Structure 1
């Protein structure tokens, strides 16, 4: 029987683990993937938007020669956190269910039973008095729900640009990821078309990325369609639709991808459809936390798919069950970052320690 079980070994979960150790709590972290799994899955060339000190957890300095750290630096730093504090983490262990059950002499104590499974199908049940759900949101992409989204040349995750040299690539989205990786693909020799449902690029794009992507679109190096939605993805093309009478901006002859676009027939009332050639498609439309575990554990979700929780303690409507980091965001993932989510675990553990009587 543990005092605390922490689900997720991202920055927020690590922060909670460090705090738990400092308070003398008997804790365990379980992680379905690898350490800081979301950061591990980032594109190799990513540069963080923030400065190193804002990524720190547990008071351990993040030393970097750069103003904005890179992915490899972040991976090394969080390994150092685990080694420095000798944190107890079980990797490759996915939590399937969190449920309340009676425990102890005459079943006098109510605790949590946490059912887990490894990739080798090994199942076990762990028990803890308190649970923190500190999962991220990078595992669940926002799906478009259009035909062809599951085709093999379509992905919700970007890796490296090199396989797409001289190939036609459609990037869907208008926030930072779409802008940054459209530029990356363009500079690696791909013929890029950007498709965005809004009238302009998102305001949250990194300040050094925005002028770059805007200039590439303006000069026609990257084709762009605004006020446009994807209606279907085919093996060799993407069908996009827009309001009839107000066609989206098209690329100039500087971009070969637009030279082969073909206008199709009208698609529904007030809409027209255009077919864009595509050898690869990246749907970079954002992500959200998987709420299945929270919902099945009894947590009431809001209309924004976020958990119901106390803003001071981060305790949900299920007593003893807390949420931290990306798990609190629901669809509003733009409100939670490493910079602010890293403090959730410390506050939660303080609440737990106060209830149990800190052993420090």
Structure 2
């Protein structure tokens, strides 16, 4: 197997695929390394999820995204990006986990669980959905606590606590409620997140108002035990009987991977990978960051639709530094 490339792209999500398309247009010798399945983050979205974005805003590589409705589903998205990969015949190696990266002369040596890859240029496009924000409370590691949600069926007839008030939490609370779970929401803020999907927000607010779904606002979980959850509310401590906890508290970039690669992180609370805003080059020469990871912890600011331009920006920056690549 060939292991030396002009460009290694770490991450096989939509932006990683878009980077691969731009690399192929530029006739660069590239490979995409993905730790899981194709568009792994999208695959791990809830089974019945509907995107907020329209299908045309998710299109890449000139491949039409045909959806049955204005808002595409997870299933339609998985099929779409499979067709993108097939249409462009992208060079992708799946189930390959990057462990570390070192620099030797002008080349980067990328160590993975399936061997070493070397390249002069590297793009990191790993997203953030794979790394949850933990509660850091006692009992969080119990098997009944989940930070990812797939399907409502396991929660039929169960006492379920949903933590959070953004899109994921509201989607989960409603879907499990409609399938027969006894749902209680624990919400740190005083209200449902204002930017929840417009077709979801009034529904969840009405279910809370009629007490079909119970909600504790301005409250936090303090401990999780086998059969109970302890929360701190404005009225004082409260203990609730519980079978499962779905902690929909958001996600963050994989900072452990950034450290293993050698990418510096800003010292402020946003923890953004240090990069040049015009070229997206990091503190490491010829190493670039693309996609939503460029927002650091402020994960609600960048999405597929407003980071598609990163791919073209990076490939142009690579060509500008390496005129010989333009004629390949």
Superposed CA deviations along residues 230-267 of structure 1, whole A, max 9, x for unmatched, are: 00001111100023xxx3xxxxxxxxxxxxxxxxxxxx
What RMSD in Å do the two structures reach over aligned CA positions? 1.1
1:2 matched to 2:8:
no
d(CA) in 2 for partners of 1:359 and 1:201?
Answer: 54
Are the equivalent residues in 2 in contact too, given 1:32–1:94 (CA < 8 A)? yes
d(CA) in 1 for partners of 2:37 and 2:154?
Answer: 26
Are the equivalent residues in 2 in contact too, given 1:12–1:343 (CA < 8 A)? no
Superposed CA deviations along residues 314-357 of structure 1, whole A, max 9, x for unmatched, are: 10111111001122222111111111122212211121123223
Are the equivalent residues in 2 in contact too, given 1:98–1:293 (CA < 8 A)? no
- Of 208-217 and 293-302, more deviation after overlay is shown by 293-302
Unaligned runs of at least 5 residues, structure 1? 103-109, 118-122, 248-271
Superposed CA deviations along residues 116-161 of structure 1, whole A, max 9, x for unmatched, are: 11xxxxx411110100000011111000100000001110011111
Other-structure match for 1:295: 259
Are the equivalent residues in 1 in contact too, given 2:216–2:233 (CA < 8 A)? no
d(CA) in 2 for partners of 1:24 and 1:221?
Answer: 58
Provide TM-score, normalisation by structure 1.
0.87
Are the equivalent residues in 2 in contact too, given 1:8–1:29 (CA < 8 A)? yes
Larger Rg: 1
Other-structure match for 1:350: 316
Other-structure match for 1:197: 188
Q: How does 1:264-283 map to 2 (within 5 A)?
A: 272-283=236-247
Are the equivalent residues in 2 in contact too, given 1:153–1:279 (CA < 8 A)? yes
d(CA) in 1 for partners of 2:177 and 2:204?
Answer: 10
Other-structure match for 1:182: 173
1:227 matched to 2:218:
yes
Unaligned runs of at least 5 residues, structure 2? none
Other-structure match for 2:249: 285
Other-structure match for 1:78: 81
Return the match for 2:112 from 113, 116, 119. Answer: 116
Are the equivalent residues in 1 in contact too, given 2:127–2:292 (CA < 8 A)? yes
- Of 198-207 and 211-220, more deviation after overlay is shown by 198-207
d(CA) in 2 for partners of 1:143 and 1:287?
Answer: 9
Superposed CA deviations along residues 161-212 of structure 1, whole A, max 9, x for unmatched, are: 1121221100000111101110001100111000001111111200010000
